[in-house]
């Protein structure tokens, strides 16, 4: 009986780029589509599916009506756990290297993964859809594809099957526009760099004044993958190819909302026929999630719920939340500088330190730091970030400025101390600090005195109050965009209509 109902449903195959933040964004959109009546097949790589079930439990992805998980291989070498001379696990993961991950619970190397997406994902994805369409009516026929923006091979498969495909970018409009400029930067000879000295000789301060909808942008403010001397750089080429192919999609979705990036969105709408802002996704989900999917989670690490209990014991806006996301890796020296900056500020802090956060070493803090901060701080391996940011005790967010973290912070009305690492994080940081006026940037070569000073400014100073008030303004506009008559709600309706049409 249940399958008879499913047979009449539109069937969306949803596939994220194989990384934590992308999985989270595409999963949220999949939940919204499920609420709108779609049968969902969610496609992870085998590696990430194993991580998801390990983090959430072996049966955590089963038993959801009209929502199933399938896998394809990532075609990367098997992962082996590396250890130091004492037999302790270490991490060698670095987004700028080509080293396979040494920790089976770590994110795959970005360059290797991008290369595999470009060359190895098309055939298994095509075969998976053929199997879904030929499984003796166990599922309805595939009627559309919802793809991560940086998985452009899905456009070819959709064209072969003559079904619509929506490319959803889990980025801001400013990030997408930055990636879209890669071809022009290449054609103008601004990238690749002549040699490594161009990273430090002032060249990256070159002003780029010809990008429509973006002002006061320097090369260093655009997504960092252009900062390469290698014309065959895998990440640069995948991002360039993905942005270029966006025009071939039936629709382009962006995880933002109109009021936040109006000028840029007006420009993009004049360049592409079907651009839809659908965000913040969590605010839409709060109103539209199917009750039977509420327990379906996204995190590839096990969440530590005691973080929320610890926050319950703290005063309103008294805690600095620190999290550098799922991919960023830092040096042990930078870890220690952040640690002492937080300790010396004398404010409460909740700090997420992943097992693979430190490059080639264990993320071990000095014993004297732990003794000095045992009453002030809490260290966690991972946590339910959106619940943390929305907790009344959190007053500021020290972040890498990844887009998920940025829009979640804006949604919660929390100002940001920004330490961008790579990719669109630098572009987000530029907008956070200069356009949206809700943050301040920490120097790349972080020092404890600067961290201490900035924490005090955010938690005690006048600038901190101004940024908090501005963040609350953006929160209110985000809530308006996702309300019953809001722009993001309206755009979700439009996207659904596109996905229900046939090519």
Catalytic residue list: 22, 148
Q: Is 205 exposed, middle or buried (0-12, 13-18, 19+ CB in 10 A)?
A: exposed
CA angle 265, 268, 271 (to 5 degrees): 155
Give the Cα separation of 195 and 229 in Å (integer): 6
Closest CA to 142 of 119, 117, 165: 165
Count of positions (residues) in the chain: 503
Q: Whose CA is closest to 415, among 467, 377, 348? A: 467
Alpha carbons 220 and 328: distance in angstroms, whole number: 18
Give the orientation angle of helix 281-288 with respect to helix 462-481, to 10 degrees.
50
Q: What are the strands of the beta sheet with 439-441, ordered from one edge?
A: 377-380, 348-352, 319-323, 394-399, 416-418, 439-441
Run of H or E including 475:
helix 462-481
Strands (E) located in 129-171: 144-148, 165-169
Rounded to whole angstroms, the Cα distance separating 192 from 228 reads: 5
> What is the phi-psi region of residue 194: left when phi exceeds 0, alpha when psi lies from -120 to 50, beta otherwise?
alpha
CB contact set of 22 (below 8 Å; sequence gap of 6+): 16, 148, 150, 170
CA dihedral 328, 332, 338, 339 (to 10 degrees): 120
């Amino acid at each position: 009986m249940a399958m008879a109902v499913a047979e009449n449903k539109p069937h969306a195959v949803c596939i994220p780029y194989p990384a934590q933040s992308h999985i989270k964004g595409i999963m949220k959109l999949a939940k919204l589509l499920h609420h709108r009546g779609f049968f969902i097949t969610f496609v992870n790589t085998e590696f990430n599916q194993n991580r998801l079930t390990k983090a959430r439990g072996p049966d955590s992805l089963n038993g959801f009506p009209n929502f199933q998980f399938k896998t394809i291989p990532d075609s990367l070498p098997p992962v082996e756990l590396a250890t130091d001379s004492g037999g302790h696990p270490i991490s060698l993961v670095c987004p700028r290297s080509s080293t396979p991950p040494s920790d089976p619970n770590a994110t795959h190397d970005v360059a290797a993964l991008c290369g595999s997406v470009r060359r190895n994902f098309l055939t298994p994805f095509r075969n998976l859809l053929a199997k879904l369409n030929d499984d003796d009516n166990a599922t309805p026929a595939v009627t559309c594809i919802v793809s991560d923006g940086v998985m452009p091979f899905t456009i070819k498969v959709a064209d072969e099957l003559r079904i619509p495909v929506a490319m959803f970018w889990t980025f801001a409009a400013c990030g997408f526009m930055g990636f879209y400029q890669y071809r022009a930067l290449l054609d103008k000879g601004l990238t690749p760099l002549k040699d490594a000295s161009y990273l430090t000789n002032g060249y990256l301060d070159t002003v780029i004044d010809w990008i429509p909808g973006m002002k006061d942008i320097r090369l260093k403010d655009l997504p960092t993958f252009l900062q390469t001397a290698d014309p065959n750089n895998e990440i640069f080429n995948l991002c360039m190819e993905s942005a270029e192919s966006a025009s071939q999609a039936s629709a382009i979705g962006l995880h933002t909302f109109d009021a936040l990036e109006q000028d840029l969105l007006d420009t993009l709408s004049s360049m592409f026929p079907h651009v839809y802002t659908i965000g913040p996704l969590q605010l839409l989900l709060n109103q539209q999630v199917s009750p039977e999917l509420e327990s379906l989670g996204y995190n590839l690490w096990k969440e530590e719920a005691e973080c929320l209990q610890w926050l319950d014991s703290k005063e309103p806006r008294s805690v600095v939340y620190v999290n550098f996301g799922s991919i960023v890796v830092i040096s042990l020296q930078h870890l220690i500088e952040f640690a002492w900056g937080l300790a010396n500020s004398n404010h409460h802090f909740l700090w997420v330190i992943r097992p693979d956060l430190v490059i080639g070493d264990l993320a071990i803090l000095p014993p004297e730091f732990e003794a000095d901060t045992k009453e002030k701080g809490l260290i966690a391996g991972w946590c339910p970030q959106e619940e943390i940011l929305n907790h009344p005790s959190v007053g500021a967010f020290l972040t890498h400025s990844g887009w998920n973290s940025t829009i979640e912070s804006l949604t919660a009305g929390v100002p940001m101390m920004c330490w961008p690492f790579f990719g669109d994080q630098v572009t987000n940081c530029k907008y956070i600090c200069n356009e949206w006026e809700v943050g301040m940037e920490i120097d790349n070569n972080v020092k404890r005195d600067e961290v201490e000073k900035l924490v005090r400014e955010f938690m005690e100073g006048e600038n901190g109050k101004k940024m908090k008030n501005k963040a609350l303004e953006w929160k209110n506009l985000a809530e308006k965009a996702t309300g019953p008559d809001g722009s993001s709600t309206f755009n979700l309706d439009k996207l659904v209509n596109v996905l229900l049409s046939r090519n």
